[in-house]
Amino acid sequence: MDLRWTAEQEAMRDKVRRFAQTEVADVIPQLERDDEQAFPIHLVTRMAELGLMGIPIAQEWSGAGADFISYIIAIHELSRVSATLGVILSVHTSVGTLPIVKHGTEEQRRQYVSKLASGQWLGAFALTEPQAGSDAASIRTSATRDGDGYRLDGSKLFITNAGAANVYLTFAVTDPNRGTRGISAFLVGRDTPGFHIGRRERKMGLHGSSTCELLYDGVQLSADQRLGGEGEGFTIAMGALDGGRIGIGAQALGIAESALQLLTAALTKRGAKRPAPPPAARAAHAELAARVEAARLLVYRAAALRQQGRSCTKEASMAKLFASDTAVEAASAAVRWCGEQGYAKEYAAERLFRDAKVTQIYEGTNEIHRIVISNQLLR
Ligand code: CAA
């Protein structure tokens, strides 16, 4: 694997790093408000102006026409400063827009992709339900044939970007007798009658990101709002999640790097008047530095495979699993070894700790990723 960035990838890294440091870092307290106003619409607008909302999408569809690695670099760099912006971008692009590029008809691409890739619209991915988190195949939201179209009934839970999105890629059962082959994907617009944004979740971390339930009450859809063929929804979802999990790996990597940086600064600050760092802190520091490096390699290895159009199910799961565990360990060590500041609200370590935790849980829990990896090895 070539570990040098191309000029284009370096330019992306520099652009996103500059944006994060000069325009995002100062408004973190605003994103931490944990209310409806916390969603950083102004920053998402800026990201659209900077061409970040459709990085791996062709210019023909109003994207930046850059490669998948550049896109992962952007999530990684953003998440070093704000994991909230990292997840907004990852969900919007990987699972909100790219499935339409891949599976959409020419007309669907024309109708949706340009608005999403330019950042005029925000995308969301509605798979999870109250009783169907890890076992995605057991969703109950139904899409019943109704004339030439469908009628959607049911609900979704913990949907990222929900409060601010314009298009919701929604998965529903079209044939309850066919298991995963009885699930289909639909494009539901925010203003569709019968579709409602439900309760907003108050979360431990990622306060600026909008997470809500979605309600579908007799939502009428035309047949051309179905994405892909009838019964292809589960495969569309899983394929999209392969890419999405690399994005979440990059988000976790950004959190881990920030935590390691805090820890390094805290151990350096000790100096002449303060005692040397305890051996346990030094050991944790060294261990984490090695783990962060390994996480970086796994994330970019999976991204390189995805970019080449090769299968990356196992590698995406490995990257997400390892990077998220590393993020939690790194943030926990920063809380532990940054002295009294580590536990203080005003300091970044406790936010990183809260933000890190969900990376082990969403886009497939790490327990699911262990199963996916083992299944792939046993195939
Ligand atoms: N790519 C393409 N197709 C795939 C695939 C992949 N990676 N993985 C499975 N499939 C296909 C299989 O080939 C199979 O197709 P056929 O019937 O044609 O053979 C079909 O899907 C069923 O596969 P499985 O038998 O492996 O499916 P399963 O029911 O055993 O489930 C699972 C597998 C991996 C556990 C799945 O349920 C899963 O991923 N669960 C976790 C759900 C998840 O990640 N949710 C994330 C929600 S979004 C989110 O979190 C966003 C956010 O907020 C940040």
**HEC per residue, the chain:** CCCCCCHHHHHHHHHHHHHHHHHHHHHHHHHCCCCHHHCCHHHHHHHHHCCCCCCCCCHHHCCCCCCHHHHHHHHHHHHHHCHHHHHHHHHHHHHCCHHHHHHCCHHHHHHHHHHHHCCCCCEEEECCECCECCCHHHCCCEEEEECCEEEEEEEEEEEECCCCCCEEEEEEECCCCCHHHHEEEEEEECCCCCEEEEEECCCCCCCCCCEEEEEEEEEEECHHHEECCCCCHHHHHHHHHHHHHHHHHHHHHHHHHHHHHHHHHHHHHCCCCCCCCCHHHHHHHHHHHHHHHHHHHHHHHHHHHHHCCCCCHHHHHHHHHHHHHHHHHHHHHHHHHCHHHHHCCCCHHHHHHHHHHHHHCCCCCHHHHHHHHHHHHHC
Q: Which amino acid is at 56?
A: P
Q: Is the ipTM of this complex over 0.90?
A: yes
For the stretch 132-162, pLDDT in tens is: 999 999 999 999 999 999 999 999 999 999 9
Residue 363 is a catalytic residue = yes
What are the structure tokens assigned to 250, written together? Answer: 């990059």
Residue 275 has pLDDT above 90, yes or no: no
pLDDT one-digit tens code per residue, 176-230: 999 999 999 999 999 999 999 999 999 999 999 999 999 999 999 999 999 999 9
**Best substitution site from 206, 235, 361 to test ligand 1's pocket, by max atoms within 8 Å of Cβ?**
235
pLDDT at 373: 98
Contact (CB, 8 A) for 162 and 188: no
Share of the chain above pLDDT 70, in %: 99
Determine the average pLDDT of the residues in 321-342. 95
What is the band of 273 on the pLDDT scale with cuts at 50, 70, 90?
A: low
Please tell me the total number of residues recorded for the chain in this structure: 379
How far is the centre of ligand 1, averaged over its atoms, from the C-alpha of 172 (Å)? 14
Strand 142-146 versus strand 183-189 pairing type: unpaired
pLDDT confidence of residue 272:
61
The reported pLDDT for the residue numbered 149 is 97
* Ligand 1 pocket, residues with Cβ under 6 angstroms: 87, 91, 125, 127-128, 134-137, 160, 180-181, 234-235, 238-239, 241-242, 313, 362-364, 368, 372
Distance, in Å, from the CA atom of 202 to the CA atom of 218, rounded to the nearest integer, reads 28
**187 phi, psi to nearest 5 deg:** -100, 110
Position 58 pLDDT exceeds 80? yes
Tokens of 325: 């565990």
Per-residue confidence (pLDDT) for residue 339, from 0 to 100? 84
Q: Which of 10-24, 59-73, 266-280 has the lowest mean pLDDT?
A: 266-280
Residue 235 Cα to ligand 1 middle (Å): 7
Q: Which domains does the chain have, with CATH numbers?
A: 7-122 (1.10.540.10), 124-231 (2.40.110.10), 234-378 (1.20.140.10)
Q: Can you tell me which atom of ligand 1 is nearest the CA of 90?
A: 54
Is pLDDT larger for residue 240 or for residue 277? Answer: 240
Tell me how far CA of residue 84 lies from CA of 75, 114, 343, in angstroms. 10, 24, 20
Vertex 340: Cα angle to 338 and 342 (nearest 5):
45
Where residue 35 falls among pLDDT bands split at 50, 70, 90?
A: confident
